[in-house]
Every structure is written in structure tokens, then in C-alpha cells.
Structure 1
Amino acid sequence: MSEVIEKAKLAKHATRILGNLTTEQKNEALLLMADALMTEQASIIQANRLDLQSGRDKGTSSSLLDRLALDEKRIEAMAEGLRQIADLPDPVGDQLEEITRPNGLKIKKIRVPIGVVGIIYEARPNVTVDAAGLCLKTGNAVVLRGGSAALHSNERIIEVLHAALRRSSIPAEALQIIMDPDRSSVDEMLKLNGLLDVLIPRGGASLIQTVVKNATVPVIETGAGVCHTFIDETAIPEMAIQIAINAKVQRPSVCNSMETLLVHEAFAAKYLPALAELFISASVELRGDEYSRALVPAMKQAAAEDWDTEYGDYILNVKVVQGLDEALEHIRRHGTMHSECIVTENAAHARRFMQDVDAAAVYHNASTRFTDGFEFGFGAEIGISTQKLHARGPMGLPALTSMKYRVYGSGQIRE
């Protein structure tokens, strides 16, 4: 029996216990997990150093190394995420609807766990903790398959979390991680119908599309983030500059960072050269259209494929547009329905942008970097869904539940 099948079976068996646990029992386990992370910070960081060194030896980019890196602050954030999940209401058992039919049948629609959630993800070891916390709180077992770049980090984190779970009511078997780094383990998970109830891919466009196109297990698609910020003619310059810089520079390796800056021609004529200097001083490589390059000769020429590229790095596309219509058309053609922003003082333009842009999160006068479960108050997130069925946007606890109809009768039969 392969590692994938063996661990998926253990997770499936654990759902029988998980489904009967109280909210208090689940919360206690989450708090024990959080405390364990804090206690074992040094050993987790030591394991992470092995992954970082391996990455450097292989020539891994600085942006990917940033996703991989753990320090005390990031581990504290992971622990705090678990505590916040414990503080959040438990959606399992919530009654969403009640119907009484003319024949006396009473129908109640309630939230229930999905079952076994499979998560395939790349370099970020914090996903290991986020996924564990969210899935266990909602009564789901979880089978994780992280990237080979984070193998040592994930192995140590799971050891720490398992030790905490053994002191709780949640069986440690409910949390599984596939350690086989071979691509075949991913392929096996994609076809594991009957053991996995849903798959959630987290990573770059290539990983996500591989899962979406090849899985027979149902998939919740978390899309790539080609995110835009449009600075309108009426934008307050200081605000627009701060938002644009934050959206790109604060952490360029994540999916909610800006990849393309769209600038109204009137704003660009006054402020784009100074804004470009700020980006350049922050080590951002700028790639622009002809109009942008005329204002900022230091920009490289943007290629056609650049507008559809999620860099996850210190690279930014810049395009000067004539107005809102051109900005909306560009986003329609090149956006990935993730996060889009307009900076404007024109209320009508803001309303139209918020209405017309088809994305999971649409912003007015705020950085796209806020598309995040922690920032939305979910404690953590299982991913950011860019699809439209079941869940969309940052997926917190409710997104990890399904529904069940409980029907109460007194002997009714259908004629």
C-alpha cells in the first residue's frame, strides 16, 4: 500500500471521531497546537534552515526563499492564527434554514464537515499550520502534500502538532502529511476518489492548472494572482503612491501583491516619474508600455506575455490608460479574478469599478495586500478561491463545510 493511500485511509477513519467532538474539545486541541509551536520554535527554525540552505544551493529565487523562510515572528503569527481560529464561532451544526411543509415534514438545513480535505501546496510551510487549524476546527481530517522545498520544515511542524494532538481529544491521525517528494504522490492524490472528498491546490499557476485539469476528486480552485491597481485621475497623490508601493513592495512573493499598475494619463504626467523612482529605489524592475517609457525611460519594454504573468518577485508592469474604460478592459483581458484596486476620489468611478470588476476581492482606496484570511478576521485561510461555486475569496471556516438536510416526519409517505 502506498504512503498516500495508507495516510488517506487513516484520515478517513479519524473523521468518525472528529464528527462527534464538541467545539470545546476542538478549541482545546488548537490551543495546545499553538502552545507547542511556540515551545518548539527553535527546532522548527533549525529544520527550516536546512530547507533554506538546500534552496540556495539549487539557485532558488529570493522571492521563493522568502515564502519558505520561517523566523520567530512568522511562527508566532502561525500560533496566533490557531488561537484566532479557536476564538471564532464553530460553523459545524449551524442551522441555515428550516422549512415546514404542508404535509407536516420539518426540514432543517445544517452545516456539516466536508470529510477529508486534500491540500497540495508549494513552498510556504505556514500553510501546514493554517490548513491543520481550519480543517480540524470544522471537523475535517486533512491530508497535506507540501512541496519538496519545505520538506524538513513541514516534517518538524507536523511532529510538533502531532505531539500536541495526542494530548487532546482529536486523533493525531486526522492530520496527515505526505513526505514522498516524488511527483507520483501528487498524481495519486488527484485520483483518490472515495478517500479524499475535495482537493485544494495552493501555489503557482502551473500547479493549480495541473490539479484542475487532471483531478477526478472535486477541486476548489485557488487561482493565480495577476492583481492590478488603477490610479484614477482624481486620486490623492500621497494615498495613491502609498497604496501602490505597499501593494508591490511589502511582500511581492504572495498572490495578493500587485503585478500591474494602471495609471490615468493625467496622473501619470504629473506623478509617474516620481513614483517610478520610489519603485526603483525599492529594487523593483519596471516594465512599461510606450507611454510609460516615454515618461520613465529607465523602464524596460513590457512584452505581450508580461501582462499575464504572476511574477511573485520585484518586477512590476506599468501601463498608462486614458481612463476608467481602458483600465476595466485591461483587467478583463489580463486579470485572474483575484484582487483588483481602484484609487480614486470619484465616487461614480469607484462604484462602477466595484460593480464591473469580476474578482474575488475588489478594493477602493486600499492595498490588495489585504486579501488574506487573517486580515479578513478568519484567523487564517485555506486558500483564496477565484472560482464561483461553493466558495470565493479567502476561505475561512464556513468554506470548509458542506450542508446536510435533516428531515423530521411523523409517518408521512409520498403518494
Structure 2
Amino acid sequence: MSSNVQIDIKEIITNQAMMAKKASQKLATLSSLEKNKALLTMAHALEVKTPIILEENNIDMENGRQKGLSASLLDRLLLTTERIAQMADGLRQIANLNDPVGNGIMSCRRPNGLDIRCIRVPLGLVGIVYEARPNVTADAIGLCLKSGNAVILRGGSEAIHSNKILASILAEAAYSAGIPHGAIQFVSITEHEAVDVMMRLNKYVDVIIPRGGAGLIKRVVENSSVPVIETGVGICHVFVDEFADLELATKIILNAKTSRPAVCNAIETVLIDQKIANEYLPMICQKLSEAKVEIRGCEKCLAICPELKTATKEDWSTEYGDLIISIKIVENIDEAISHINTYGSGHSEAIITTNYNNALKFQKLVDASAVYVNASTRFTDGNEFGFGAEIGISTQKLHARGPMGLEALTTMKYLIYGEGQIR
């Protein structure tokens, strides 16, 4: 790409960020009533304009098929009337949530008479970089607006037609309902340089949130000068311990792997306690095979089920995003916890057990944002946690962790009241 084109990309995106940053100042002062009115208007617009959205999504789907996208990626890209209705419902749910802006965090009166309060305020301008999931467009815009933030989005090229029409419809509806013009910006430039520009806009963008595969997230984390909230990579495990209800374990594993294999809360590895491996491994392999899941096993697994493919060390740290799973037999719960803390991504982990002490130990020692006992990891989701839609699943520890709802899109401000005190 020529330097002239690069300059044009920088200029275009910088201007978008400038507009959004300016709009964020007024947006931060809007009342909950005003923001909720906009969200409801946006939800209605999605439903009314569903046929147009589906037409644009069909273009993306056809392009995806021609490019040879996998079935799981095409599923993430696909929009249907039902999925658009769910997006609209998500916006209405956000409207019904409590507004965190202005909420008190703490207050105190100092010995010198100063009154100090700490309240929640918007971050300002939130940048979102994401891949082939058009629903992120609606979720991100809705959550950012409700939390008083302007937003600049850059979606993947696979979903460019879907994302452009969604952002256009939502922005038009929001502005008609009183949201400041410019608060919603969509970067339609699909070249990689667009992301590079966004990652350097410290003057305007307050935080950047990448949502997508490991490659995208790694690139943003390692190269951004804008603060980053790392999200999404889901190397999730289910550990079936010696006290597990095996039928329950099978039900959970099948759900966590096969219901939507491309999403970040799907599992990639099953760990089985060696005390039950001879009984349980053939059982779960049969069920997974019937569900057309490719199984890769450790050496101990192959000794029991020699028909399995051999798992390599790489498999333990791979997010397949597909109907592929790795299985490892471990000596005990301690080895299971060690394996998870070594290879997991800090997303979601589960133990299947009827032993209370093992459940507590697992939840205490596993380092992840969500740790389950006898339930599918597929519940790690803002809506399922009661947060409405989510901006992403943070796998880091600062400043947010786990499903990021409205509160995670705020920061704090101290308000100090005095009567002439000096120091």
C-alpha cells in the first residue's frame, strides 16, 4: 500500500475519532431517560429494517462461502430474523438495566473538613476491534451509549456489509432520539492499517477492546499505545474428577463443546481423573464421535482408546473454535488445576464432581474469570449473568474481569468539597 493511501486512512479514522470524542462530552451528561429512549428507538429500527439487514448479511455469507470459511465461522457470521430480534431484545434489556453513571462508590469527611465523594463516570471514547460477529455491533453500541460512552468500531472484513448497515441503522435511530451526532463511528476501511491507526489514537480513544481470535488480540495487546482490555481467547476446560456423576459430565461436555463450537466460552480440553478413565473415556469418546467431534488424546488416552488421534503439546494451548477437542488423563485434582493454570486463558473452567471439598478447592485455586461446578462453561455471557448484552469477556485482571457489562465501561471520579482549606 502506498504512503499516500496510508495517510488517507490515518486522516479518515482520526477525524472519526475526533468527532466521537467531541460527542462523548455531551453524551456523558445525558440522563438515563434520554439514553433509554435512544436504545428503545434503536431496537425498533432493527426490527423494522430486518429485510435490509438480511440482504447485506447474505452478501457477507456468500463471500464467506466463496472464501472457504468453516461452518462454525459461517454460523458466527449468519444473521436471521430471530437473531436480529435477539439483538433488538438485547438493546431493550440494556435500557432496563440500572445506569451506573453517577453512582456513588465511596464518601468520607476528612478531619480537616474536606468532603470527598467518588462516583462512576464514563470512560469517554471506547474503541472496539472485532471479527466476524455482527451482533457485536449492536451489543457494543448499546452498552457504550447506556454507560455514557461514545464508540468507534472496526469490524472484520468478513462481516463488512452486515456491520456497515447495522451501524448505520443504529446511529440514525440514536441521533433521531437525541444522542449527540458523531457518538457512533464505524470504520469501514478493511485494510489492516485501520487497526494500526486506532491503536495509536491516544489523544482521542480512551480504551481499545479487541474481540476475536488469538491473533487479533495478541496483535492489539502487543502493539497498542491506547490502553487495552484483553478479551475473548477461550481455552476452556472441563475436569471430570473421580467423584463425578458421569451422565451429568457427558451432558455438560457435549453442550460446552458442540452447542456453538466457535464461541469463546466453548471448551477445548477435557481432563479426566485416572481413577475413572477406563470407565469414562470410552463413554465420552463415543458420544463426542456421534456428535462429529474430532478427538485428540494424550498417550494414556490412546492406551485405552487407540483409535484417537494423538494430542501434541500444542493442542493444550489451542483454541480450536471448531468441532475438535483434546482429552488428557490426569493423576488427580492437583494435576488438573496445574494443567489449567498452565494452559488456560483465564476465561472459564469447570469441574464435574459430587465432592464438596474438591469443588471448593477447584474454585479457589483455578485462575480464571469464571469457575463452574457441575455446569457448562457456555453460561459465561453478559446476558446469562444478568448484565444485559456484553462488551466482551475480559481475561485479564485490570480493570475488568469476566463478562463486561455497563459498570465495566465506567471509571471513577473524585469530587471534593471544601470551605477554603489549604495544605
Scaled by the length of structure 2, the TM-score of the pair is 0.96
Question: Aligned with 2:173: secondary structure?
Answer: helix
CA distance in 1, matches of 2:188, 2:371: 37
1:3-402 correspondence runs (5 A): 3-402=12-411
* Aligned residue type for 2:105: L
Structure 1 residue 175: deviation in Å? 0.7
CA distance in 1, matches of 2:412, 2:264: 30
Query: Is 1:413 aligned with 2:422?
Result: yes
CA distance in 2, matches of 1:219, 1:183: 18
* Aligned residue type for 2:360: R
* Aligned residue type for 2:172: A
Structure 1 residue 159: deviation in Å? 1.7
Question: Aligned with 2:257: secondary structure?
Answer: helix
Structure 1 residue 332: deviation in Å? 1.6
Scaled by the length of structure 1, the TM-score of the pair is 0.98
Structure 1 residue 294: deviation in Å? 2.4
Task: Give per-residue Cα distances to partners, 1:176-215, cap 9 Å, x unaligned.
Answer: 1000001111100010011101100111111111111111
Mind listing any 5+ residue stretches in structure 2 that lack a counterpart? 1-7
CA distance in 2, matches of 1:178, 1:49: 21
Give the conservation status (yes or no) of the 8 Å contact 2:301–2:329. yes
Structure 1 residue 297: deviation in Å? 2.5
Question: Aligned with 1:166: secondary structure?
Answer: helix
* Aligned residue type for 1:7: Q
Task: Give per-residue Cα distances to partners, 1:203-244, cap 9 Å, x unaligned.
Answer: 111111111111111111114110000001111121111011
Give the conservation status (yes or no) of the 8 Å contact 2:101–2:148. yes
RMSD of Structure 2 on Structure 1 (CA): 1.0
Task: Give per-residue Cα distances to partners, 1:337-395, cap 9 Å, x unaligned.
Answer: 11000000011100000000000100000000001101111111101111111100000
Structure 1 residue 67: deviation in Å? 1.1
CA distance in 1, matches of 2:305, 2:71: 26
* Aligned residue type for 1:178: V
* Aligned residue type for 1:303: T
Residue matched to 1:403: 412
Give the conservation status (yes or no) of the 8 Å contact 2:76–2:262. yes
Mind listing any 5+ residue stretches in structure 1 that lack a counterpart? none
Give the conservation status (yes or no) of the 8 Å contact 2:337–2:362. yes
Question: Aligned with 1:318: secondary structure?
Answer: strand
* Aligned residue type for 2:19: L
Question: Aligned with 1:402: secondary structure?
Answer: strand
% same residue: 55
* Aligned residue type for 2:138: V
CA distance in 1, matches of 2:25, 2:327: 53
Structure 1 residue 64: deviation in Å? 1.2
Structure 1 residue 31: deviation in Å? 0.7
* Aligned residue type for 2:71: S
Give the conservation status (yes or no) of the 8 Å contact 2:392–2:403. yes
CA distance in 2, matches of 1:146, 1:332: 31
Residue matched to 2:3: none
